[in-house]
């Protein structure tokens, strides 16, 4: 059955080309997510994964994932 699928696809040249495109786009999208992860990492969101969940269950807690987010804008981060 696999052989016949290929034969069908070989005839549909455009369909085969679509798969190339799909794979490339897929890798790019996945790469985008990797980039987002690396950005979040550098923003300090993964430094502490224990406290934010506790914060969520408290009342009136600001939802922050790292102490840097709580700095007033005027203060320069060291």
Partner 1 sequence: MHCAACVGFLEHLAERIDGLHETTVDLPRKQLHVVLDLSALKLSELATKLADLGYAPAVVSKEGTAQRQNMRSIVGRLAVAGFSFGNIMLLALADYAQSESFASSEFKAMFGWIGMALAIPVMIYSGSGYWHSAWSAIKDKRLNIDVPVVIGMITLFVRSATEVISGAGLGYFDSLAGLVFFLLIGKWYQNHTYNSLSHERAYESWFPISVVRLSKQGPETVRIRELRKGDRIRIHNGEIAPADGRIEAGAGVMDRSFITGESDLVPAGAGTEIEAGSCWKGAVMEMKVEAPVESSKLTQLWNAEAFQKPASKELTDPINQLSGIFTPTILSIAVLAAVVHLWLGSGLVWDAFTATLIVACPCALALSVPFTYGSAMRGLGRAGAFLKNAMVVDKLAQIDAIVFDKTGTLTHSGHQRVEHFGPASQPMTKSAQRMAASLAHSSSHPLSRGILSHLMALHNWQDQDLLPIEGFQEFAGKGIEARIGGQTVRLGHAKFVASSVDGTNVNEVNEDLNTAGTSVHLAIAGCWAGGFSVQKPMRDGVADELRRLGERYELFLLSGDGNGEAARYASMFDRRAMWFSQSPADKMAHIAAMQARGMRVAMVGDGLNDAGALKQADVGVALVEDLYAFSPASDLILHASSLPALSPMLAYALQARKTIRMLFVVSLLYNIIGLFFAVQGLLTPVVAAILMPISSITVVLVALLRNEWTSWRVGLSKPFAKI
Compute the residue count for the chain: 78
Q: Nearest approach, Cβ of 59 to partner 1 (angstroms)?
A: 8
CA 55, CA 18: separation in Å to the nearest integer? 47
Residues that bind partner 1 (CB under 8 A): 2-3, 6, 16, 19-20, 23-24, 27, 30-31, 34, 37-38, 41-42, 44, 46-48, 50-51, 54-55, 57-62, 64, 66-67, 70-72, 75, 78
Sequence-distant (≥ 6) Cβ neighbours of residue 61 within 8 angstroms: 55
Q: Nearest approach, Cβ of 39 to partner 1 (angstroms)?
A: 10
């Amino acid at each position: 059955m696999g052989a016949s699928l290929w034969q069908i696809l070989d005839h549909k040249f455009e369909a085969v080309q679509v798969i190339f495109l799909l794979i490339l786009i897929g890798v790019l999208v996945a790469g985008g997510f990797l980039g987002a992860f690396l950005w979040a990492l550098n923003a300090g969101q993964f430094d502490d994964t224990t406290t934010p969940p506790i914060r969520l269950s408290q009342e009136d807690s600001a939802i922050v994932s790292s102490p840097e987010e709580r700095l007033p804008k005027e203060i320069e981060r060291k």
